[in-house]
């Protein structure tokens, strides 16, 4: 790993989001997390033992001698994707809200807002900024990796419940991250393992899957995460690494001004592009603001050395800093 650059650009958040292996930081972790190309840290179940330990870990992370504090995130949607359990409120899978919506929509909206508020309150107490939710994918009944993580198979139901969930998060001082743009629910393959291929017509994707994203963007959702899925009628590149999806459709057509997260570059769905360096350079070139690289420390350290010529981007850093939780004073 190359030495830390002390230039004025170190006040900017770098584009890499990395992870750590244990319950506390090692000396190597501290060096890595202070590198100017690293702007974020994502926590996993392996980083959690109990509330006291998590409090100490987050305090240590946020006290690192950096010009700008790290953006701290966790996948904490509820259901099977909830990294912290003991000592935290158990949040049900979002599918349960979609089922309730069909029976009593007012109660479902109230519960969606409350779940968002609970997640926001509990995570912000530790200094965590993002829970990488809500899932805006439509459940087409074929994707096991999405499945009950989706609110419903109806775009309108997803829109209403996601709005309520986001309102709950925002009430607790946390921003939302809608995922996985432009929709991961119509493919069988698991993008953690391989690149899923969606061969539907562009009109069908736009007319259905894009709708929750379009509405939440118009509402002002703060960030989105891209899908490692190839939509062959739109572009041959995965959406996460596609200039057409990110620049032409998301930025220009849909006028999205928030932060864009690539999905994890360690996933099989990104491997089609080539080496980790090639994936990262492509992801930045097409307009992703932050690139998670998880569960592969050797790849992260090699990537930092390979990207020695890359400097943190001022506009991307500004978008990312807007995601700091309410607990952060003077986020500029």
Q: Please state whether beta strands 71-74 and 38-43 pair in parallel, antiparallel, or not at all (unpaired).
A: parallel
- Asked whether residue 180 is marked as a ligand-binding residue, the answer is yes
Give me the catalytic one of 19, 129, 209, 263.
263
Residue 137 tokens read as 């994918």
- Asked whether residue 149 is marked as a ligand-binding residue, the answer is yes
Give me the catalytic one of 50, 104, 192, 308.
192
DSSP 238: B
- What's phi and psi for 311, nearest 5 deg? -115, 145
Check if 192 is active-site. Answer: yes
Q: Please state whether beta strands 38-43 and 16-18 pair in parallel, antiparallel, or not at all (unpaired).
A: parallel
Residues 284, 241: Cα–Cα separation, whole Å: 8
Residue 52 tokens read as 């006291």
Residues 199, 176: Cα–Cα separation, whole Å: 29
Closest by alpha carbon to 326, among 221, 171, 217? 171
Check if 263 is active-site. Answer: yes
- Asked whether residue 55 is marked as a ligand-binding residue, the answer is no
Distance (Å) of CA 60 to CA 25, 55, 87: 8, 9, 20
Residues 169, 188: Cα–Cα separation, whole Å: 30
**Given its phi and psi angles, is residue 87 left (phi above 0), alpha (psi -120 to 50 degrees) or beta?**
left
**Residues in binding site:** 75, 83, 149, 179-180
**Residues in binding site for substrate:** 75, 83, 149, 179-180
Enzyme catalytic residues: 192, 263
């Amino acid at each position: 790993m190359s030495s830390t650059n002390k230039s004025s650009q170190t006040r900017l958040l770098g584009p890499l989001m990395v992870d750590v292996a244990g319950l506390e930081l090692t000396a190597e972790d501290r060096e890595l997390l202070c590198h100017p190309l690293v702007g974020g840290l994502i926590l996993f179940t392996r980083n959690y033992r109990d509330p006291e330990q998590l409090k100490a870990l987050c305090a240590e992370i946020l006290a690192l001698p950096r010009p700008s504090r790290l953006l701290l995130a966790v996948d904490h949607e509820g259901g099977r994707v909830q990294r912290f359990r003991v000592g935290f409120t158990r949040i049900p899978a979002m599918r349960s809200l979609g089922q309730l919506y069909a029976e009593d929509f007012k109660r479902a909206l109230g519960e969606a807002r409350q779940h968002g508020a609970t997640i926001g309150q509990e995570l912000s107490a530790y200094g965590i900024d993002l829970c990488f939710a809500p899932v805006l994918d439509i459940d087409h009944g074929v994707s096991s990796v999405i499945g009950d993580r989706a609110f419903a198979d109806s775009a309108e139901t997803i829109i209403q419940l996601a709005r309520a969930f986001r309102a709950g998060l925002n009430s607790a001082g946390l921003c939302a991250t809608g995922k996985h743009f432009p929709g991961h629910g119509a493919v069988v393959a698991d993008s953690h393992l391989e690149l899923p291929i969606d061969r539907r017509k562009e009109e069908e994707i736009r007319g259905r899957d894009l709708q929750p994203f379009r509405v939440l963007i118009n509402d002002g959702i703060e960030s989105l995460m891209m899908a490692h899925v190839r939509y062959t009628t739109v572009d041959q590149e995965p959406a996460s690494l596609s200039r057409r999806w990110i620049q032409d459709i998301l930025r220009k057509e849909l006028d999205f001004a928030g932060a864009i997260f690539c999905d994890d570059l360690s996933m099989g769905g990104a491997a089609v592009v080539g080496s980790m360096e090639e994936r990262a350079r492509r992801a930045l070139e097409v307009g992703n603001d932050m690139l998670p690289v998880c569960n592969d420390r050797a790849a992260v350290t090699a990537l930092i050395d390979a990207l020695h010529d890359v400097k943190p981007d001022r506009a991307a850093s500004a978008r990312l800093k807007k995601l700091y939780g309410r607990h952060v004073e003077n986020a500029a």
